[in-house]
Amino acid sequence: MGKILVFLLMTLCLGMANPSSYRTIQEDFFDARYLRIDEAGHLGKRIEDITLLLPEGKRRLSSFLGSKPLVLIPAYYTCNGSCPVLLSKLTDKLSELKDDFTVLVLSFDRKDTLQTLKSFADKLRQAKVSRWKFALIDPKDIESFSRSTGFRFFYSERDKSFIHPTTMIFVSPDGIITRYLYGVNPSTADLKLALLDAKREHIKPSEIVDMALLMCYTYDPSRSKYVINPLLMFGGLGFALVGVVGAIVFSYGRTNKGGV
């Protein structure tokens, strides 16, 4: 009797399970791979010259290149999550930098319009984004942008929002991808160094001191930030050790001479 009861309960549980619901959950399951970019496959590569739609008309991405670094920020204008948070933080931090660069916010959402673009931009502090540009990626070029930069995304029906990396893509004046920074709150120092990385080949004589600063740091992709160059650190420790040993030897020699 006990075995029959267990069998009936198992049958009832299986009967209550909804296979289609299970598949929906699995298909909508969060894929963490979308939060990282294959940097090794894209750093140093030329970004594709996609078509953009701005309030003033259509332009090619290449029209923003040529003389200064470009900071690309992929976002979508109906986002209620990380996109407005990141851009709000950047309005302060980027305005503190004296470097000459262009910020270009790009929507990858086919449903975005010039009206949603304007509404989104109006919510930011206008005085601090006067040099920024907001655009829509031409729908036919969204896949090209994704393939060119490694920026991938998908729409979650459950959350009614896009899942995508929160990142900034730094591009050199020549159109070469030089750096990715992740997160909604990058440090001002990391932004400064990433911009220096982007214009490394176009450094001006007045910026030699800044370039020397860049040589003191190296980018750590595991932490998405710049850290003190370990070679410089160990080299400094080596010189310090030599100095200490030299001082001890010199002091010991003088002591021995004084005792004779």
Instruction: List the single range of 59-68, 117-126, 201-210 with lowest mean pLDDT.
Output: 201-210
Angle at 211 between CA 93 and CA 184, to 5 degrees: 25
pLDDT computed for residue 15 by the predictor: 40
Question: At residue 233, does pLDDT exceed 90?
Answer: no
pLDDT in tens, 131-190: 799 999 999 999 999 999 999 998 988 888 999 999 999 999 999 999 999 999 999 999
Grade residue 224 by pLDDT with cuts at 50, 70 and 90: confident
Question: At residue 21, does pLDDT exceed 80?
Answer: no
- What is the share, in percent, of the chain residues with pLDDT greater than 70? 68
Q: Which of the two residues, 51 and 128, has the higher pLDDT score?
A: 51
**Nearest in space to 110 (alpha carbons), one of 82, 145, 83:** 145
CB 218 within 8 A of CB 226: yes
pLDDT computed for residue 92 by the predictor: 87
pLDDT in tens, 99-112: 889 999 999 999 99
**Nearest in space to 53 (alpha carbons), one of 81, 77, 84:** 77
What's the rounded mean pLDDT across residues 13-30?
Answer: 40
CB 229 within 8 A of CB 218: yes
